[in-house]
Amino acid sequence: SEWPFLIITDHFLKSPELVKAMYAKMSNQERVTLLDLVIAKIVGDEPLTKDDVPVFLSHAELIASTFVDQCKVVLRLTSERQADDEEALATIRLLDVLCEMTANTDLLGYLQVFPGLLERVIDLLRLIHVAGRDTTNVFSTCGCIKAEGDVSNVAEGFKSHLIRLIGNLCYKNKDNQDKVNELDGIPLILDSCSIDDSNPFLTQWVVYAVRNLTEDNSQNQDLIAKMEEQGLADASLLKKMGFEVEKRGDKLILKSTNDTPPL
């Protein structure tokens, strides 16, 4: 295959049509290498140029549509027999790329309105949250799994990245804030906030997502405040996350405290 030689030149990434055609023919290991190069370009020292942006918007379409179509293959990793599933590993890397793309202001707007992306991310978060809770597997909140070897580490940080992506997609976007609420995503995100050895910075990404979900959105603020009053959201956990609920007359107000954890 000639793709490794193509890939080391900027010409390859500058041709979305070629990338799309080659991606379909690549092995999953080759796809991971390509996606790593895309990440390196996005997070590199030099920002994307005006010429780069439309090209990377095309890449974003390929990556987002592939993730929406294939992301549930990650659930194969719950089986020990498929703990090194290469297609699942490539899908995890797609999520990594989406996190970096949505952290780029030139690409964020396109992905915020990408059909089905936010819904699929919330759906997948719910599925792995349940899978990790019901049985012991790579998505469980259990550090002891790591002792079994490197293979059990493949999903490390996956839940964090799903929550990070939700937070990015909701950044100053009321439609997406409301959509997460409608899909019962807010209780799910709050329930994900636990000590989890396999998810570094999980709490910080939950804080980030909650901030973006509640910014200028009184409905989402009210929901979290009512959850706390009803005992569905742990007040001490909210405080640890940098939020507290204050009662003003008949209203419950969710507000940030000064000791918000740094991101």
Judge contact between 95 and 158, C-beta under 8 A: yes
Residue 227: predicted pLDDT: 74
Band (pLDDT 50/70/90 cuts) for residue 154 is low
Judgement on whether residues 247 and 192 belong to the same structural domain of the protein: no
* CA pseudo-torsion sign 141, 146, 151, 155: positive
- Rounded mean pLDDT, 121-141: 80
Judgement on whether residues 25 and 106 belong to the same structural domain of the protein: yes
Judgement on whether residues 229 and 198 belong to the same structural domain of the protein: no
Q: Which of 199, 216, 233 is the last residue of a domain?
A: 216
Judgement on whether residues 65 and 156 belong to the same structural domain of the protein: yes
- Rounded mean pLDDT, 148-176: 82
Band (pLDDT 50/70/90 cuts) for residue 69 is very high
| Tokens found for residue 107 | 């690409």
Provide the b/e sequence for 118-155 (b: ≥16 CB within 10 Å).
Answer: bebbbebbbbbbebbeeeebbbbbeeebeeeeeebebb
Q: Which of 195, 216, 237 is the last residue of a domain?
A: 216
Read off the CATH number of the domain in which 49 is found.
1.25.10
How many Cα atoms sit within 13 Å of 243 on the Cβ side? 28
- Rounded mean pLDDT, 68-93: 85
User: Measured in Å, how far apart are the chain's first and last C-alpha atoms?
Assistant: 42
What's the domain count of the chain? 2
Judgement on whether residues 195 and 104 belong to the same structural domain of the protein: yes
Q: Are strands 243-248 and 251-256 parallel, antiparallel or unpaired?
A: antiparallel
Residue 225: predicted pLDDT: 81
183 has a pLDDT exceeding 60 = yes
Judgement on whether residues 173 and 256 belong to the same structural domain of the protein: no
| Tokens found for residue 82 | 């498929």
Band (pLDDT 50/70/90 cuts) for residue 78 is confident
- Give residue 107's domain range: 3-216
Band (pLDDT 50/70/90 cuts) for residue 221 is confident
Residue 44: predicted pLDDT: 87
Judgement on whether residues 98 and 168 belong to the same structural domain of the protein: yes
Band (pLDDT 50/70/90 cuts) for residue 262 is very low
Q: What pLDDT, in 10s, does the model give residues 8-26?
A: 566 788 999 999 999 999 9
**Least reliable range by pLDDT among 159-173, 178-192, 211-225:** 211-225
Judgement on whether residues 16 and 112 belong to the same structural domain of the protein: yes
Residue 2: predicted pLDDT: 55
- Rounded mean pLDDT, 108-115: 98
State the SS3 of the chain. Answer: CCHHHHHCCHHHHCCHHHHHHHHHHCCHHHHHHHHHHHHHHHHCCCCCCCCHHHHHHHHHHHHHHHHHHHHHHHHHHHCHHHCCCHHHHHHHHHHHHHHHHHCCHHHHHHHHCCCCHHHHHHHHHHHHHHHHHHCCCCCCCCHHHHHHCHHHHCCCCHHHHHHHHHHHHCCCCHHHHHHHHHCCHHHHHHHCCCCCCCCCCHHHHHHHHHHHHHCCCHHHHHHHHHHHHCCCCCHHHHHHHCEEEEEECCEEEEEECCCCCCC
Q: Which of 197, 216, 235 is the last residue of a domain?
A: 216
Judgement on whether residues 112 and 196 belong to the same structural domain of the protein: yes
Q: Mean pLDDT over all residues of the chain? A: 82
Residue with the two structure tokens 């009184």: 218
- Rounded mean pLDDT, 168-188: 96
198 has a pLDDT exceeding 60 = no
Residue 150: predicted pLDDT: 44
Q: φ and ψ at 14, to 5 degrees?
A: -85, 0
> In whole angstroms, what is the distance from residue 32 CA to residue 89 CA?
8
Judgement on whether residues 26 and 107 belong to the same structural domain of the protein: yes
Select the more confidently predicted residue: 259 or 158. 158
Band (pLDDT 50/70/90 cuts) for residue 182 is very high
Judgement on whether residues 117 and 187 belong to the same structural domain of the protein: yes
Judgement on whether residues 225 and 198 belong to the same structural domain of the protein: no
Judge contact between 252 and 225, C-beta under 8 A: yes
Q: What pLDDT, in 10s, does the model give residues 30-61?
A: 999 999 989 999 998 889 999 999 999 999 99
Residue 157: predicted pLDDT: 84
